[in-house]
Amino acid sequence: MAKLLVKLQRYFRRKPVRFFTLLALYLAAGSLVFLHSGFTGEPTVTGSQRSPGAGEGPGLPYLGVMQLSRGFKAMATMPEGGRQHRPRFKSTSKEPAERGKAGDYGSTRSRTLRARSGREKEEDRARYIGCYVDDTRRRTLRGVSFFDYKKMTVFRCQDNCAERGYLYAGLEFGAECYCGHKIQASNASESECNMECKGERSNTCGGVNRLSIYRLELAQESARRYGSAIFRGCFRRPDNVSIALPVSQLMLNMSVDKCVDFCTEKEYPLSALAGTACHCGFPTTLFTLHEREDEQLCAQKCAGEEFESCGTTEYLLVYQTQVQDNRCMDRRFLPTRAKQLVALASFPGAGNTWARHLIELATGFYTGSYYFDGSLYNKGFKGERDHWRSGRTICIKTHESGQKEIESFDSAILLIRNPYKALMAEFNRKYGGHIGFAAHAHWKGKEWPEFVANYAPWWATHTLDWLRYGKKVLVVHFEDLKRDLFVQLQRMVGLLGITACEDRLLCVEGQKDGNFKRSGLRKLEYDPYTPEMRKMISGYIKTVDTALKLRNLSGVPDDYYPR
């Protein structure tokens, strides 16, 4: 060994450049390892804070509100997902080169029965309405379409169509998905929809030139699309339409595209069709878009497009164009140091980043963070770099729990989300990043059960600690914020001491999604929760529900359980 070292020493004396090159490479490699370890830290969860074994249930009777252990520290950054560039979908009606036979007709009845049981499970998001004829030259559903000849499932098709705001999702030939707002064909016999889904053999995905069609009960609110426009609904004509919608144009050959294009050219975010008149404007107190009418009142056929509705003189069909409403986009730091520190507290995965986005738009001031996340800073959260005690931001994001940390704040907005959804969101962030997804191997491996065992009790202790130690806590449920953004955002802004301008809040409604929203394209197509996990989590939900009611607050939303 000594001889080898002597030889190396002599070699490097003769060629010092090579010695310094190797040294530099060694130091660079060590620095990269150090930086990587620094950026991949996760919340520390001690062994005593783990939940009981899966078979032991939640381990605590739900009435023991304050008996859950504390001490979980959330050093991870905000997990809430965001919008990412979506793949382009085929809008052509081109058929595959060859279509095989429809399959084994003798097994049609058994497949239909299996599909029916699968459809019953889908009732919460879609309702099966029947088998319909399709024509390759004149499609029954004329929205976007996409094909997957290996992994198509009913859920995947429904999810893609719902995310794009369509009312109907149809599956054909076992592998093709079509979306649309109207069904423009006649019914066919159920026996003709006889092809198994390529990625889910227990369900039926249409047949040869036959569509299995579902009506989407949970198509995203305010997201039905015609081209680039977002459908907002049917509304009664405002009293003074020339003030509420200041730009108008008579169009004898009216269509949705023509009115949307006109308002886009005039740089207005709203396009309202009133028969042969096209109106453009902003959502204001004169035209809030809060009181939707039955769409049948607007169902007057367009003069320039046979299969579209163009509203009437009394009831307007409203679309949101791609023009950005800039009335709520300006943001800055507080002009004077804040006298109080307000926390925006949540369990990871509960929508904290989305809530920050809404608060910044509604108030015009940056929000801060107890941590630092460079990716959020680069996405526009400029308060991310400030120290959380700087006093320059309107509120401070935190996932902390525990008496000392909570008492550092003068008041708090406590955001609570369904633990089933929050846990999955945080797991995706942990293994896939802010807008990414955990790999299939992580869900099926040991990572997911261990994650649930560690994080599920933290979901409960986080809320309990803030209710116990928080000085002035405003509880906001994530689900209520999604359902009634205007009212809930008014409450949040009120706690921050800001007088909410209604027109600005209406602007926020039109820009509510922000840049951190996971695409629905890779949502899990199965329930990752075992019966033991559900039993444990249900116990924690009851504990939190009881704690809220003991403080004369409304309990958790009904959709938290039963599971």
Least confident of 121-125, 275-279, 309-313, 466-470: 121-125
Q: Is the pLDDT of residue 179 over 60?
A: yes
* pTM passes above 0.95: no
The CA distance from 538 to 560, in Å, is: 9
pLDDT digits (tens, 9 = 90+) for 104-113: 434 444 444 4
Higher pLDDT, 58 or 266: 266
Q: What is the structure's pLDDT at 517?
A: 59
Q: Residue 93 and residue 12: Cα distance in Å, rounded?
A: 69
Query: Is 97:532 a contact under the CB 8 Å cutoff?
Result: no
Q: How confident is the model at residue 525 (pLDDT cuts 50, 70, 90)?
A: confident
DSSP string for 38-67: HHS------GGGSPPPGGGTTSS-TT-TT-
Query: How far apart are the C-alpha atoms of 558 and 548, rounded to whole Å?
Result: 14
Q: What is the pLDDT of residue 26?
A: 73
Is the pLDDT at 239 greater than 70, yes or no? yes
- Name the strand (E) or helix (H) holding 216: strand 210-216
Average pLDDT over residues 427-436: 79
In the predicted model, what is the mean pLDDT of residues 188-194?
94
d(Cα 416, Cα 346) in Å, to the nearest integer?
Answer: 6
Confidence of residue 223 (pLDDT cuts 50, 70, 90): very low
SS3 at position 528? coil
pLDDT recorded at residue 44: 38
**Distance between CA atoms of residues 303 and 477, nearest Å:** 45
Residue with tokens 């009664």: 236
Contacts with 100 (C-beta within 8 Å, 6 or more apart), sequence order: none
Asked which of 195-199, 257-261, 512-516 is least confident by mean pLDDT, the reply is 512-516
- The fraction of the chain above a pLDDT of 90, given in percent, is 47
User: How is 467-523 classified by DSSP, letter by letter?
Assistant: HHH-SSEEEEEHHHHHHSHHHHHHHHHHHTT----HHHHHHHHHTTTTT----GGG-
User: What pLDDT is attached to residue 12?
Assistant: 60
Residue 89 main-chain phi, psi, to 5 deg? -105, 150
Task: At 535, list the tokens.
Answer: 């039993």
Q: Express each pLDDT in 42-93 by its tens digit.
A: 443 333 333 333 333 333 333 334 344 333 333 333 333 333 333 333 333 3
Start-to-end CA distance of the chain, whole Å, equals 66
Question: Kind and range of the H or E element at 477?
Answer: strand 473-477
Q: Tell me the CB-side half-sphere exposure of residue 23, using CA atoms within 13 A.
A: 6
Mean pLDDT (whole number) for 184-200 = 91
Which of the two residues, 180 and 524, has the higher pLDDT score?
A: 180
List, for residues 115-155, the tens digit of each pLDDT value: 444 444 444 568 899 999 998 878 888 767 888 878 889 98
Give the span between the Cα atoms of 137 and 559, in whole angstroms.
Answer: 43
Closest C-alpha to 314, from 232, 236, 251 = 236
Residue 126 bridge partners (DSSP): 216
Is 174 or 73 the better-scoring residue by pLDDT? 174
Q: Does residue 255 carry a pLDDT above 60?
A: yes
Calpha distance 62→44 (Å, rounded): 25
